[in-house]
């Protein structure tokens, strides 16, 4: 629905007309209830109409300010949504038309939030995916604190798929994701599934790959058991330190990925 561009002008004339009608009605009804001297009838009529006009103008001003107040609040919410903050909600409560609009707006934002969450979540593991990684990388630009991106690749994972099938491989990846979430909770890091058996960890807590590897070894010291088969886990890691706002995510990923393959070559 599109409001006419001159709706405020139309609203003004509606309230003005309403005020005049109230003033005229007041002029006609009051003398029936309260006797008014003949010499004051004209002055009373003029004052009643003027009072009605002032009442209409006052109602228009209050209504205009209320509309402006509501639209500014809705505008702020929509601005937050536009930049990707789907936690934004309009806070007006009521059963009137503004309340109904607020409920509809919040319901729409909630649906967008859920779709956004699904689009940024890896369906197999439940970890954030590459889209979520790119979004977090952009948010880091506001922090501008040095971070390190670790490109992590499981060693000899292909042999699990080849020997035991992709179903077993999927279950191993799901358990890896469970442990990475435990790892994140303990180290304040952020883990993402980049694709296949590749994962990305972003953290400002580690001074070297060796210290990261040490903590990973603790989390993954126990093998993954799938259908009675034990799968020991090992990793190859490549890292790249960067300052948000001064580096492109693709360049950082390429550098970390290249260093990871150098490490992986040593395990073959």
Extract the residue ranges of the chain whose pLDDT is less than 50: 1
Q: What is the pLDDT of residues 65-114, one digit of tens each?
A: 888 888 898 999 999 888 778 888 988 887 888 888 889 999 999 999 89
Q: How many angstroms separate the CA atoms of 175 and 232, rounded?
A: 12
What is 130-267's CATH number, 3.30.70.270, 3.30.470.20, 2.40.30.10, 3.30.930.10? 3.30.70.270
Q: Domain extents for the chain?
A: 7-117, 130-267
Q: What is the spatial distance between Cα 16 and Cα 59, in angstroms, rounded to a whole number?
A: 9
Give me the phi and psi of 154, to 5 degrees please: -70, 140
| pTM beyond 0.85 | no
Sole residue written with tokens 């601005």: 79
């Amino acid at each position: 629905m599109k409001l006419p561009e001159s709706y405020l002008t139309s609203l003004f004339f509606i309230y003005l007309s309403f005020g005049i009608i109230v003033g005229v009605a007041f002029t006609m009804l009051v003398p029936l209830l309260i006797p008014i001297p003949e010499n004051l009838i004209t002055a009373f009529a003029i004052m009643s109409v003027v009072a009605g006009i002032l009442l209409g103008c006052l109602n228009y001003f209050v209504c205009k300010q209320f509309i402006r107040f509501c639209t500014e609040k809705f505008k702020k919410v929509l601005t937050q949504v536009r930049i990707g903050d789907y936690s934004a909600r309009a806070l007006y409560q009521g059963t009137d038309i503004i309340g109904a609009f607020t409920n509809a707006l919040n319901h729409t934002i909630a649906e967008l939030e859920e779709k956004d969450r699904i689009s940024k979540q890896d369906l197999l593991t439940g970890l954030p995916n590459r889209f979520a990684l790119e979004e977090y990388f952009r948010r880091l630009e506001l922090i501008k604190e040095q971070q390190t991106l670790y490109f992590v690749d499981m060693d000899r994972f292909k042999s699990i798929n080849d020997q035991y099938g992709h179903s077993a491989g999927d279950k191993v990846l799901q358990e890896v994701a469970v442990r990475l979430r435990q790892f994140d909770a303990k180290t304040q890091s952020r883990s993402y599934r980049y694709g296949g058996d590749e994962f990305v960890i972003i953290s400002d807590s580690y001074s070297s790959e060796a210290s990261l590897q040490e903590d990973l070894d603790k989390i993954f010291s126990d093998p993954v058991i799938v259908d009675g088969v034990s799968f020991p886990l090992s990793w190859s890691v490549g890292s790249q330190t960067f300052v948000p706002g001064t580096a492109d995510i693709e360049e950082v990923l390429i550098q970390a990925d290249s260093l990871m393959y150098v490490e992986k070559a040593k395990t073959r």
